Amino acid sequence: MLNREDNELLTRIGPGMPMGGMLREYWVPACRSAKLERDGAPARIRLFGENFVAFRATDGRVGFFNEGCPHRCASLALARNEGNGLRCIFHGWKFDVSGKCVETPTEPEDRRGTFADRVPVKHYAVHEAGALVWVYLGKNQANPPRFPDYEFTKLPEDQIAPRRGVIHCNWLQGLEALLDSAHVTFLHASGLGGRVGQDFYKQEAAYMLETGAPTFEFIQQPYGFREGALRDQPDGKTYARIREVAFPFASFIPAPPGGYSLVCFSIPIDDEWTAQWYVGFNVHGKIDPRPRAIMGRDSGDPDFFNSDMGDVSNMWHQDRKAMADGHWTGITGRGNAYEDFIVQESMGPIVDRSQEFLGTCDVVIVRSRKILLDAIHQYQKDGTLSFCGPEVNFNRIRAISYAYPKGGDWKKIDPFNPPVQQAA
């Protein structure tokens, strides 16, 4: 468990908070590229307890500003998007993609130019990659840190399918759900049970159902760690879920070689709300963008795929009859993400980790909290930013799941060139 002081340090991410200051120094996904149309409606985006707008200008460039117009703070999400800039509907002031005020039609004509030059517009560095618009909200806008060019960020857009969930809980709760391999055997048991069969995509479900207490081994990495969650099987094999954790936000979810891949990001909206990005991608060719092909059925809205999830007032639509009839959670008709989200929300907006009683299965959680605490202490001490140094090769991060003869070594498996997988 964490003491309350450390829990506060890790979870409070608003303006002026230590963790919020550090997390703003990393590039974060803000919205899908497809959401922003040339001269289309600006997108209202909330990150780290602050409100912003993103828009695509006439020439295709993306701008990212504070939401409030610097004149009288009217929302620029209402602005006219035209002529390579946003024009506030209140008084007609216009701002180009670079953040420069270019027109102030309410000022006397002879001083409009000099007045516009003095108008402060808070804008932020953006980068489009992996079918996403990323933003850097940190202090050094003139010289942002290196972009995390993960494998999927270099793929064509027809090989990537990003989806965004929204959950009423702190970002760390969302992240920890993505790091916990032990819960899969239980929380997702009913979904796994429907997949058991001879195809290896189904056989791995049987492997997870067979053993509820995996053992864990780690390879420390400059971006975080590679984790092997190992389950010995009655057939003489060991099933390894080899996860990659790229702090502070990303968990690469293990999947069989040759299929779709999935990386998830837990991004703070504010202290009590989280944007959980599920980015499905296929390094081998086009991806089926339908939700079921990647992570199960959802609401159909890629910007809020769990909008139909419910909340505590209706107990997230849990079906007790389905539970009595054999469904493990009673959360039916949806993918694993819904079950994860509901459990995280059920803890309350910010869980009091001083009340936890942890076990062997929580070694990944304990390890991750220590790594994050070390990172924030180092950042507070001298401004050093962890997890993104020049030694990190982001595009060589890939998670896989794999079964091999008992006694083998998962650490020798190259996820980019694994041995041929044998079906059980």
Q: Enumerate the domain spans of the chain.
A: 27-136, 151-412
pLDDT of residue 184: 77
pLDDT of residue 189: 73
The string over 257-291, giving b where at least 16 C-beta atoms fall within 10 Å of a residue's C-beta and e elsewhere, is beebbbbbbbbbbbbbbbbbbbbbbbbeeebeeeb
Calpha distance 321→257 (Å, rounded): 37
Tens place of pLDDT for every residue, the chain, 424 residues?
799 999 999 999 999 999 999 999 999 999 999 999 999 999 999 999 999 999 999 999 999 999 999 999 999 999 999 999 999 999 999 999 999 999 999 999 999 999 999 998 899 999 999 999 999 999 999 999 999 999 999 999 999 999 999 999 999 999 999 998 778 778 887 776 654 444 545 566 667 676 768 899 999 999 999 999 999 988 899 999 999 999 999 999 998 888 889 999 999 999 999 999 999 999 999 998 776 655 667 899 999 999 999 999 999 999 999 999 999 899 988 888 999 999 999 999 999 999 999 998 899 999 999 999 999 999 999 999 999 999 999 999 999 999 999 999 999 999 999 887 654 4
**This model's pTM is above 0.85:** yes
pLDDT of residue 198: 42
Residue 230: Cβ within 10 Å count: 18
Are 411 and 247 contacting, i.e. CB atoms less than 8 angstroms apart?
no
What is the topology classification, in CATH, of domain 27-136? Answer: Rieske Iron-sulfur Protein (2.102.10)
Nearest Cα to Cα of residue 152 among 252, 243, 72:
252
Calpha distance 336→410 (Å, rounded): 26
How does DSSP classify residue 338?
H
Are 162 and 277 contacting, i.e. CB atoms less than 8 angstroms apart?
yes
**What is the amino acid identity at position 120?**
P
Beta bridge partners of 261: 281
Judging by DSSP bridges, how do beta strands 125-129 and 101-103 pair with one another?
Answer: unpaired
pLDDT of residue 84: 97
Query: In CATH, what number does 151-412 get?
Result: 3.90.380
Nearest Cα to Cα of residue 10 among 370, 386, 387, 389:
370
Calpha distance 154→151 (Å, rounded): 6
pLDDT of residue 424: 43
Calpha distance 378→371 (Å, rounded): 11
pLDDT of residue 293: 56
pLDDT of residue 196: 43
